Amino acid sequence: IVVSLTPHDTTLSGNPDLFLSISLCGSYLSSPLSSSLRFRSESMDYLRAFIFLVLILSAISLSEAGSIGVNYGRISDELPSAFKVVQLLKSQGIDRVKIFDADPAVLKALSGSGIRVTVDLPNEMLFSAAKRPSFAATWVKRNVAAYHPSTQIESVAVGNEVFVDPHNTTKYLIPAMRNIHKALVSYNLHSSIKISSPLALSALQNSYPSSSGSFRPELVDLVIKPMLDFLRETGSRLMINVYPFFAYEGNSDVIPLDYALLKENPGMVDSGNGLRYFNLFDAQIDAVFAAMSALKYDDIEIIVTETGWPSKGDENEIGASVANAASYNGNLIRRILTGGGTPLRPKADLTIYLFALFNENKKFGPTSERNYGLFFPDEKKVYDIPFTQEGLKHYRDGGHNTPATGNQQVTPPNNGGGVSKSLTGSTWCVANGDAGKDRLQGGLDYACGDGGADCRPIQRGAPCYSPDTLEAHASFAFNSYYQKKGRAGGSCYFGGAAYVVTQPPKYGRCEFPTGY
């Protein structure tokens, strides 16, 4: 923006007109101010004109560019040291990083780097943090206060996708968040370090069209409203994990690839509000905004704590490729760094964390799980995309860029290893054994009937008939329905008789499918 105040030609009264000229994004506007601001010889009139200009500039609201961070997962036995990782981040201009724990070696390596850090209180610690304020205080002392501010910790993620945690930790989430916050207050860190908890999009009952976005009803009073109240009280943002890849993979027959990859396309009009969307990422974000708006929480901002696209997948993982991963991540970076919000929230500039920094060879699940990385373990790029505004100057669509390396591949592990704590690959839908026989039977009947689930494997003599229990059979049917629906939000509900898990269900020797 270039602003100038200049006297124009002298009027008949001998007083010059004061012109306000503004050059905004290449456009030039020039207009005389009202007569009350015309220059006179008195210095007070100059002062008044200056004050008026300041007020005008204060009223100009312009969107600033968003910010790019990266998730630093470490479920691998071949990654570089934490100190090398910090140098890699700095060399790429990445100034935000999120980790899935509070590992001392990583936090020490980040000390003095200027990189802003989000640490995580793992799901398995939620019970202790909720039930024992002393545990929360000790955790904050050892994992936050001991490193900050030399290590620039800016937020604490309490749990991760807790609603799909098979250990049913949801009821402990809000008490844990409040106890962690009290501990931060005791160290006077609550103003500089914010608390939230990443949600998966499966927390939504409806996500299409975006304007109909709503949270799952069984979660609203239990945890959604209390969480949003907490975020409002503390000035924190709602953390969400958004993966257009999952939606495209399960619905590639109806979702255009260009729309999913943020490429040029004619867009889609939301039938509920008439807004046109040009990419699936914005549509998914606005579904969350709409869900919050429906509950009267329009003032809560969003931060995207995970998003990404795999560079390799199994044969049935439609869309997983180097070219598509480069296009999605590259185009998303450009979309975020060039500013502007979503159609529903045009001023909502976003901070996003790409998943993930490295390919991680010890992760379970389909091939895609081990191939979300931006870099190989040897620190070479999987594909060439920029992470800064400077790099964007010479950037073309990622799908047209040649892979940055040769024929390196990540192969599945031959034995055990770490398990991802985030929903970045396959998920399954299983029966809730506490829902009661009537709900389970009703859900099973619907799934195998009108729901169109493939229930042949649970018939007598078929591979998944054993164990012959209502919970096992319902789990298989619920999962079949869930997978056929592309794991869409709300497709694993069945009146509260089902929930999503991130590890393969185990019922006898039955293998639960991850797609059809």
Tens digit of pLDDT at every position of the chain (516 positions):
444 444 444 333 344 444 444 434 333 344 444 434 343 444 455 445 444 444 444 433 334 568 999 999 999 999 999 999 999 999 999 999 999 999 999 999 999 999 999 999 999 999 999 999 999 999 999 999 999 999 999 999 999 999 887 677 899 999 999 999 999 999 999 999 999 999 999 999 999 999 999 999 999 999 999 999 999 999 999 999 999 999 999 889 899 999 999 999 999 999 999 999 999 999 999 999 999 999 999 999 999 999 999 999 998 899 999 999 999 999 999 999 988 899 999 988 899 999 999 999 998 888 999 999 999 999 999 999 999 999 998 887 745 444 444 333 333 333 223 222 333 346 888 998 878 898 899 889 888 888 889 999 999 888 899 999 999 999 999 999 988 888 876 788 887 788 887 778 888 888 888 776
CA distance 501 to 479: 10
* 445, 446, 452, 453 alpha-carbon torsion, rounded to 10°: -60
* Chain position carrying tokens 């239990």: 222
CA distance 145 to 143: 6
**What SS3 class is residue 400?**
helix
- The DSSP bridge partners found for residue 31 are 20
- Number of other residues whose CB lies within 10 A of the CB of residue 282: 24
Contact by Cβ (8 Å): 249, 314: no
Q: What would the two tokens of residue 450 be?
A: 């009108």
Q: What would the two tokens of residue 38 be?
A: 């015309």
CA distance 231 to 177: 10
H or E segment and range at residue 294 = helix 280-294
The candidate with the shortest Cα–Cα distance to 355, out of 67, 88, 70, is 70
Q: What would the two tokens of residue 203 be?
A: 């927390």
The whole-number pLDDT of residue 493 equals: 80
The candidate with the shortest Cα–Cα distance to 420, out of 158, 204, 123, is 123
> H helices within 38-103, ranges in order?
43-59, 82-91
The candidate with the shortest Cα–Cα distance to 427, out of 384, 485, 355, 510, is 485
Contact by Cβ (8 Å): 265, 259: yes
* 254, 260, 263, 266 alpha-carbon torsion, rounded to 10°: 40
DSSP for 453-500, written as a single string: ---GGGSTTSTT--S--HHHHHHHHHHHHHHHTTT-TTSS-GGGTEEE
* Chain position carrying tokens 């209390």: 226
The whole-number pLDDT of residue 45 equals: 54
CA distance 162 to 227: 12
DSSP for 59-104, written as a single string: H---PPP-EEEEE-----SSPPPHHHHHHHHHHTT--EEE-SS--H
The whole-number pLDDT of residue 44 equals: 52
Instruction: Show the domains of the chain with their CATH numbers.
Output: 67-393 (3.20.20.80), 428-501 (no CATH)
Q: What would the two tokens of residue 315 be?
A: 């044969």
Question: Active-site positions?
Answer: 161, 306
The whole-number pLDDT of residue 470 equals: 94
The whole-number pLDDT of residue 73 equals: 97
> H helices within 60-111, ranges in order?
82-91, 104-109
- The DSSP bridge partners found for residue 240 are 199, 304
H or E segment and range at residue 276 = strand 276-277
CA distance 127 to 124: 7
The whole-number pLDDT of residue 64 equals: 53
CA angle 509, 510, 511 (to 5 degrees): 115
pTM of full prediction above 0.75:
no
Contact by Cβ (8 Å): 14, 33: no
The candidate with the shortest Cα–Cα distance to 39, out of 3, 71, 61, 10, is 10
CA distances from 333 to 15, 87, 299, 380 (A): 52, 21, 25, 19
pLDDT tens column, 78-92: 999 999 999 999 999
Q: What would the two tokens of residue 425 be?
A: 């690959």
In three state form, how does the secondary structure of 168-209 look? CCHHHHHHHHHHHHHHHHHCCCCCCCEEECCEEHHHEEECCC
CA distance 489 to 353: 22
- Number of other residues whose CB lies within 10 A of the CB of residue 68: 24
> In this structure, which amino acid lies at residue 27?
S
- The DSSP bridge partners found for residue 307 are 354
